[in-house]
Amino acid sequence: MPSSATSSPVPTTPLPSGEPVPVLGLGTWGMGENLRPAAQEVAALRLGLDLGMTLIDTAEMYADGGAEEIVGEAIAGRRDEVFLVDKVLPSHATRAGTIAACEASLKRLATDRIDLYLLHWRGRVPFAATLEGFAALQAAGKIRRWGVSNLDTDDMKELVALTGGDAVATNQVLYNPTRRGIEFDLLPWCAARRLPVMAYSPIEQGRILKNRTLLAIAQRHAATPAQVALAFSLRRDGTIAIPRAGHLAHVRENRGALAVRLDADDLAAIDRAFAPPHRKVPLEML
């Protein structure tokens, strides 16, 4: 397994504002649900911070706020080290609802600000109303920037055409070797606008870790299949991966993915195993 190379900083990619953020962060989906001791989840997040993975992603939906409480405990006393990403449910995404949801999240997180606040997916509320809520939160200093999640290309075009919509800072979407549909149009569209993409479930919740192709590539690199899957997502400039890791060993394993460099033969093998899209594919979600 490659060394986690903790002496080297985690690479960064810029937001449209120019602000650098780590390309490898910490996801929290599934935390706060009593699947493992809360203290273990807190310790895993703190280890990630120690290893330079200072972007933490969470959402009000995760465990009905329980994941935010885990994050709040993990970042206590270390808030200034963290780039904190949170998400508002589409059912809350009216102007007033967005503000109220953010304030509730801030309370659970025990912080006064969220660095990047995302619309979790598109619902029935018009984008314009959500943007009004984001603008009010920014004016109050409760969020620094805003973005979206699970928006396809046409949704993004509609969003940026609105007044203030071009301030979107990221789009967080499902992306891993088995979920490549965004490579056809969404990734190129975001890249042309220097809009970073956050890849969630970059190891497909572990379902691809026994794949023979990934196992063979991992063996060649003295790595693990999870590290190969992460390296696949991170091979593109402007992509951020946010794998969940509730165990200390998994945090170290994820950090080690930064030492894996996939070559042309590796990528060709992945293409044979998981064909890239040759036409428009509807956006997938988990």
Q: Which of 188, 140, 197 is nearest to 168 (CA)?
A: 197
From the list 62, 117, 175, 200, the catalytic residue is: 62
Q: What is the pLDDT of residue 36?
A: 87
Asked if the model's pLDDT at residue 69 lies above 70, the reply is yes
Q: Which domains does the chain have, with CATH numbers?
A: 12-273 (3.20.20.100)
pLDDT confidence bin for 3, thresholds 50/70/90: very low
For residue 1, is pLDDT > 80? no
Average pLDDT for 24-43: 94
Q: Residues 114-121: what's their mean pLDDT?
A: 98
Q: In this predicted structure, what is the pLDDT of residue 35?
A: 83
One-letter identity of residue 13:
T
DSSP state of 62: G
What pLDDT, on the 0 to 100 scale, is given for residue 34? 86
Taking the C-alpha atoms of residue 283 and residue 31, their distance in angstroms, rounded to an integer, is 25
Residue 22 has pLDDT above 90, yes or no: yes
Half-sphere exposure in the Cβ direction for 44 (13 Å, CA): 28
Q: Has residue 105 got a pLDDT over 60?
A: yes
Confidence of residue 7 (pLDDT cuts 50, 70, 90): low
2 has pLDDT over 50: no
pLDDT, mean over the chain: 95
Q: Is the pLDDT of residue 183 over 90?
A: yes
Mean pLDDT along residues 214-235: 97
Q: Is 175 assigned a catalytic role? A: no
**Tens digits of residue pLDDT in 141-181:** 999 999 999 999 999 999 999 999 999 999 999 999 999 99
Residue 10: what are its φ and ψ, rounded to 5°?
-70, 130
Per-residue pLDDT tens digits for 185-197: 999 999 999 999 9
- Coil, strand, or helix at residue 198? strand
CB 36 within 8 A of CB 70: no
